[in-house]
Structure 1
């Protein structure tokens, strides 16, 4: 999600950069800047920090489970007589 308070602040800062002669239409410029920023950011495929952290945690848990399964398979293969060893896992 986009933090609209930050967009308001950025639009305000951009409108503050406008020369003093054009400041009469400051609110209009601020609104235009805000609309342009929202439109531009809306086209990007962004995720929130929270969503990113959740997916990172899921990936870490999945990696741990995969490592445990690889160890289990290796142990089972070592115990099974006459079974050819499996090919080593490929790196991601």
Structure 2
């Protein structure tokens, strides 16, 4: 769901800002930082950019079809009104 490169970059920034004694603990801290970040990101109610783009396209097609149907309905109503006269 989340870009692993961005997650890696955030984890590195956090690790770089830690005091040296904490950094000396090694990869265990780095791994824990990644786990915490991933856990918090997973709690957020977000979608990937790809999924967002797909849903945007679906919405655009739906709007287009709705506009076409509204136009057809208007045409049918106009025909019915003429037929009643």
**Does TM, normalized by the shorter one, top 0.5?**
yes
Aligned residues: 83
Partner of 2:36: 36
Kindly report the root-mean-square deviation, in angstroms, between the aligned alpha carbons of the 2 structures.
1.8
Say which structure, 1 or 2, has more relative contact order (CA 8 Å, 6+ apart): 2
Match of 2:84 among 73, 82, 85: 82
Q: Provide structure 2 residue ranges, at least 5 long, that are not aligned to the other structure.
A: none
Native 8 Å contact 1:15 1:26 kept in 2: no
Q: Provide structure 1 residue ranges, at least 5 long, that are not aligned to the other structure.
A: 84-92
Name the TM-score, length of structure 1 as normaliser: 0.77
Larger helix proportion, structure 1 or 2? 2
Name the TM-score, length of structure 2 as normaliser: 0.83
Q: For 1:1-92, what aligned pairs fall within 5 Å after superposition?
A: 1-80=1-80, 81-82=83-84
